Amino acid sequence: MSEVLQTGGLEFEVRRSERRKTLGLTVDRAGELVAHVPAESSPHEIGRWIEGKLLWVHQKLALKEVTTPKLRAPEYVTGEAFCYLGKRYRLKVVRQQDRPFRFDGTSFMIRLDACPSEQHFRRWYIATGSEWISRRVEMLSARTGSAPERVEVGNLASAGVRAAGAAYSTSTGKCCSCRCV
- Strands 107-111 and 87-94, by their bridges, are parallel
Spell out the alpha helix ranges (H) of the chain.
43-52, 54-67, 117-144, 156-159
Q: How far is CA 38 from the centre of its chain?
A: 32
- Strands 10-17 and 24-27, by their bridges, are unpaired
CA–CA distances in Å: residue 35 to residues 1, 151, 159, 171: 15, 38, 26, 34
What letters, b where the CB count within 10 A reaches 16 and e where it falls short, cover 1-25? eeeebebeeeebebeeeeeeeeeeb
pLDDT tens across the length of the chain (181 residues) = 579 999 989 999 999 999 999 999 999 888 899 999 999 999 999 999 999 999 999 999 999 888 887 778 889 999 999 998 889 999 999 999 999 999 999 999 999 998 888 999 989 988 898 888 888 998 999 999 988 887 777 665 544 433 334 443 434 444 454 555 5
Q: Is the dihedral of CA 114, 115, 116, 117 positive or negative?
A: positive
